[in-house]
Amino acid sequence: MAKVVFIGAGSFGFTRNLVRDLLTFDNLSNAEIALVDINKQRLNFARRACQKLVDQGGYKATVTATTQRRDALKGADAVCVTILRGATTVWQHDILIPKKYGIDTNVGDTRGPSGIFRALRTIPEMVAIARDMEQLCPRAIMLNYTNPMAMLCHAMQLQTDIQLTGLCHSVQGTAAMIEGWLGLKPGQMDYQCAGINHMAWYTRLEHNGKDLYPKLKKVVSTNKDVYNHEQVRNEMFLALGSYVTESSGHNSEYSWWFRKRPDLIKKYCTSGTGWNPGHHAYILKQYQLREKSWQKSVQDWLDQDEVPLGRGHEYAASIISAYMGGDIFEFNGNVSNDGLIDNLPQGACVEVPVVASRKGFEAIRIGNIPAPCAMLTGLSAQIEMMAVEGCLKGDAELVYQAIAHDPLTAAKLSLGEARQMTREMFRKNEKWLPQFKKVNL
């Protein structure tokens, strides 16, 4: 019987969907599902939701809930992590302070000044979870869904020996979007994708052995509806020659090209028809709205006579099933670059194809990614590594230097302005960053 632990289980919709997926596998349908959250109310809602899935499906699984993660981790086979370190009231300062300096942020959870400070708050907790796993369930795998994905995974890969990978649905989500544009049915396209989280590139797109990139370029160039759906990503594709995984809104933050002037923001980041064209603080605003209505939404779901039991598109359940002896499963995961991508920094956290089996994780070597893509990707990877080093050492100067090299920050601010902004962000986050004993910027 497998034991699967969910840390941050109060992320209700995510936990509910992952547990629903787990139960669809024969070798997991009798699993022990251990839920952990520091918010007792959210934890109770998650417990009730998971129990509803078990009862309705007639599964033999058991559901437990606790606020003490060490109790839950004992004997675990797999651990899924979906935590938020600091409420949205903390996150909003990561966005508001850079905005005062002219840096207009769309999401701010992955890289740039906002993503780096989110990492500084979250890394110590993630490393602590991983170290608890080393003690209490050293053979367990960790599947991390918490952002900033690459920096968190890189920190844990440096500090601990557990088997871990980070999961993001942008790879399969973007592949499905491209299939739709090209008139293919879901799953018909063969692809290889590699880079770093939110900046991975489809190095190969094929159907029945035929290269799909010429057709995709023609569609993006001539079909206004397709172009407008992902304006930022489509501009990047037409310029760089490969398609990137994460949405236009996210990617507009990661380069010099789209958010450095108001006219560019208006042109590329406001009128796209995709789910996230790039509006200021889009995801933060969504979270704030959700916080006002989440209890009603959860209760409405619980009050349904029947809830869907079909498997979704997340990778976690398939990975855990493979690790517990089920079918081998290939996915894109975040792992350490130990000879996997030659033209990205060695040791960085990269996103590449990974095979899951009862042996654990085996990453697939890529070689080089296309040179036009490697330039921006390599810089971002180095910035992430520097920010993680600064966090682990409690070195505020390294954090400032990482932020100063961020493409959007560098496009907007002088070095002195970047230092002043970083200093202000440290002051606002002081109580969340005990690892920084003295900030002298």
Helix, strand or coil, per DSSP, at residue 193: strand
Residues 359, 387: Cα–Cα separation, whole Å: 32
Instruction: Give the DSSP H or E segment for 55.
Output: helix 40-57
Q: Which residues contact 261 (CB under 8 A, 6 or more apart)?
A: none
What are the contacts of 180-188 at 24+ separation with CB within 8 A? 181/216, 181/219, 181/220, 181/223, 181/226, 182/207, 182/212, 182/215, 182/216, 182/219
Active-site annotation holds for 169: yes
Asked if residues 113 and 103 have their Cβ atoms less than 8 Å apart, the reply is yes
Q: Which of 169, 207, 280, 405 is catalytic?
A: 169
Q: Which of 273, 238, 268, 272 is nearest to 253 (CA)?
A: 268
DSSP 82-120: ---SS-HHHHHHHHHHHHHTT---S--SSSHHHHHHHHH
Rg (CA), the chain: 21
- Phi–psi pair at 152, nearest 5 degrees: -65, -45
Q: Which of 339, 356, 357 is nearest to 348 (CA)?
A: 339
Q: Which of 123, 121, 117 is nearest to 157 (CA)?
A: 123
Q: Which residue has the tokens 């002051």?
A: 427
- Phi–psi pair at 253, nearest 5 degrees: -85, -20
Asked if residues 151 and 157 have their Cβ atoms less than 8 Å apart, the reply is no
Residues 311, 329: Cα–Cα separation, whole Å: 15
Asked if residues 217 and 234 have their Cβ atoms less than 8 Å apart, the reply is no
Residues 64, 3: Cα–Cα separation, whole Å: 11
Tokens standing for 418? 């970047």
Asked if residues 164 and 144 have their Cβ atoms less than 8 Å apart, the reply is yes
Asked if residues 231 and 277 have their Cβ atoms less than 8 Å apart, the reply is yes
Residues annotated catalytic, as ranges: 169
